[in-house]
Amino acid sequence: MIEDKTLAALDGVQHGFFTRRGGVSSGLYSSLNCGYGSGDSPDNVRENRRRAAEKFALGPRDLLTVHQIHSTEVLTVAGERWESPGAPKADALVSDRPGVVLGVLAADCAPVLLADNHAGVIGAAHAGWRGALAGVVEATIAAMEKLGSRRDQMRAVVGPCIGRDSYEVGPEFPAPFLKQDEANARFFRAAPRAGHFMFDLAGYLLARVGRAGVAATATGHDTLTGTEDFFSYRRNTLEGVRDYGRGLSAIALRD
């Protein structure tokens, strides 16, 4: 499990960007696959999630994830619990309650964890390129504000995701980003393949979070090249593998 020093320094907040190590799954899901959406055995996923929740000294029902749909939908968690699979559809969660772990799943998309320990408010967002462009992290920040958080007190960390030297995109890709802001051209560079580009997802997210008035850092890990530590949809696709495991990133308030 990877901890970011910025979030680790916040009193009352616990977090972790889990690697793929330390679980019970095998094969292409080896080993800490936490995604019921994969073809892995549900029993394996259940045990992996139990182990992850245990790192927070909580039970498996206290680890909440959502059915991610590449949206800007944010759920505010109070005392409710739900089962996965069967979780509500959204791409981010916020809470001001201890005793619950907010989690997002990714395998190249960017997990973003946020905290305001002064207000006692946390958030977790799943940001693929669609969600990032649409503003899922800004929506998460706004939901945290509704719980009493302040942007100047928030800290955000972009976790392991596909790196700028690994994320090749097609010729149609820059257009929606440039339409939003021509300055976004700095997050693209020419790829070795003609007409294609390399995209800096983490850099784009850092810039957007910064413009929103929140201090942000990134762990800097590339999920595609980190074969031993991270699941990667793109890596498996390039190898002709149809399915993939999902890595968990999670955050909680301590009692």
Residues 6+ apart with CB under 8 A from 184: 174, 177, 178, 204
What's the whole-number mean pLDDT along residues 23-42?
98
> Which pLDDT score, from 0 to 100, does residue 255 have?
83
Q: CA 66, CA 36: separation in Å to the nearest integer?
A: 11
pLDDT at residue 246 tops 90:
yes
Whether 176 is covered by a domain: the verdict is: no
pLDDT at residue 144 tops 90:
yes
Are the C-beta atoms of 154 and 145 separated by less than 8 Å? no
Whether 191 is covered by a domain: the verdict is: no
Write the pLDDT tens digit of every residue in 104-130: 999 999 999 999 999 999 999 999 999
Give the CATH number for residue 45. 3.60.140.10
Whether 172 is covered by a domain: the verdict is: no
Are the C-beta atoms of 157 and 216 separated by less than 8 Å? yes
In which domain, by residue range, is 219 found?
5-161+215-253
Whether 221 is covered by a domain: the verdict is: yes
Q: What angle do CA 78, 82, 86 make, to 5 degrees?
A: 140
Whether 180 is covered by a domain: the verdict is: no
Are the C-beta atoms of 113 and 14 separated by less than 8 Å? no
- Amino acid letter for position 62: D
> Which pLDDT score, from 0 to 100, does residue 79 have?
87
Whether 193 is covered by a domain: the verdict is: no
Q: 3-state DSSP call for residue 123?
A: strand
Regarding beta strands 74-77 and 101-106, do their DSSP bridges make them parallel or antiparallel, or are they unpaired?
A: unpaired
Whether 243 is covered by a domain: the verdict is: yes
pLDDT at residue 231 tops 90:
yes
The structural domain count of the chain equals 1
Whether 192 is covered by a domain: the verdict is: no
Residue burial 91-108, b: 16+ Cβ < 10 Å; e: rest: bbbbbbbeebbbbbbbbb
What's the whole-number mean pLDDT along residues 186-194?
97
